[in-house]
Amino acid sequence: MKRRAWKSSLFSGRTDGYCFLSFGFICNYFILYKMIFAPRKEEDPRIVPDDEQYQEFKDETVEMVTALMEREYEKVSIISYDALRLCGRWYEGEEDKPTAILFHGYRGSAYRDFSGGSAMLFKKGWNVLIVDERSHGMSEGRAITFGIKERYDVVDWVSYVVDRKGKEKDIYLFGISMGAATVLMASPLLDKSTVRGIIADCPYSSPVAIISCVMKKMKLVPSLLIPFVKLSARIWGRFNLEAESASEAVKKTDIPILLIHGEDDRFVPCEMSRSIHEANPELIRFETFPRAGHGLSFMVDNKRYNRVVDEFFASLEK
C-alpha cells in the first residue's frame, strides 16, 4: 500500500508539473497574440511619432491633421460579414466626381495617415470615404488581422459606395502600410468595372513577412516564433495568417495598381513593394521616392507625388 501511494504521489507531481508548463505555454501564446494582434486605443492623431523621420515634418503634419479634423463630415457605418459595426467618415464631393475609399495603417490613425492624401482629393472635388478599419478608431473588433479579414471589409465598403452613388460612378481605393496591403489583398475580390484603380503606398508583401521583419529588428528569431504567432492567430483570432498575401493577390486581379514606396522606409522595406511589382509588372506601375521614410513619400516630394497620382488617373481615362 505504501509503495502504491508513493507511486501515485510521484505521478501526481509529474502531472502537476506538466499542467504548470502547459499553462505557461498558453500564457506565452496569449501574450504574443495580444502584442501583435490586439487593438490599440487611438491616441490624439496630432501626436507625431518620436522617430526623426516623422519629426522632420511635425509642423506640417499637425497643420494638415488639424485641418482634416475640422472638416465637416457625415459619420457612416456598415455591418461586416462577421457582424462587426465598422465606421467611417464621408466627405461629400461634386455629384459627377469619383469616390475614393481610404484605408489607414496598422494601429494608425485615419486622420493622420490621410491628412495629406485627402486634401489632394478634396481639391479635385471627389467624394472621400475615410475608413476606420476593424479594431481601430470608431470601428468594432477584437483583433487586427493584417488584411486577412480586413480584405472582406474592403468589399463591403465598396458595396456601400455603390449603393450610395450608383454603379456608374467610379471608385478608387487608397491604402497606406497595412491599408495598402489590405486593398491589394482585396483586389481579386473586386470588379474592375466598379473599382477603376488602386493606389497602394508602402504595403508589405505578406502578413508573415512583415511580422518576421519586425521581429528581426527586435533581435528576435522569427523561425522560432512565427509558428507560435500563426497558431495564436488561429486559436484566439480565428484566422489563418497565411490565407492571402499582397504578392499573391496581385497575380489574380485585373484592376490597375499604382505602387508607391519610400526608399528609406525603415519599417516596411522597399523591397517588399518591389516583390509585389515583380508579381505582376504589366499591371502595376511602381514608383519609389528617395529619402522617404515609411508613409512619408507625400511629405518628402509632394509635387512629384501629386504628379504621379494624376498621371495614374489620366492613364485610366484613356
Distance CA(314)–CA(318), nearest Å, equals 7
Query: Quick check: 152 and 189 in contact, CB under 8 A?
Result: yes
More confidently predicted of 3 and 190: 190
Average pLDDT value for residue range 63-87? 97
Q: What is the pLDDT of residues 16-56, one digit of tens each?
A: 544 444 445 556 678 889 999 999 776 789 999 889 999 99
Average pLDDT value for residue range 227-251? 96
The pLDDT score that the predictor gives to residue 317 is 81
Evaluate if residue 60 carries a pLDDT over 80: yes
Distance CA(75)–CA(68), nearest Å, equals 14
DSSP helix/strand/coil, 93 = coil
- Report the amino acid identity of residue 307: R
- What pTM did the predictor assign? 0.91
More confidently predicted of 2 and 127: 127
Strand order of the sheet with strand 127-131?
A: 74-79, 85-91, 127-131, 99-103, 171-176, 195-201, 257-262, 284-289
Positive/negative CA dihedral, 102, 182, 65, 57: negative
Counting residues of the chain whose pLDDT is more than 70, the rounded percentage is 90
Q: What is the pLDDT of residues 89-147, one digit of tens each?
A: 999 999 999 999 999 999 999 999 999 999 999 999 999 999 999 999 999 999 999 99
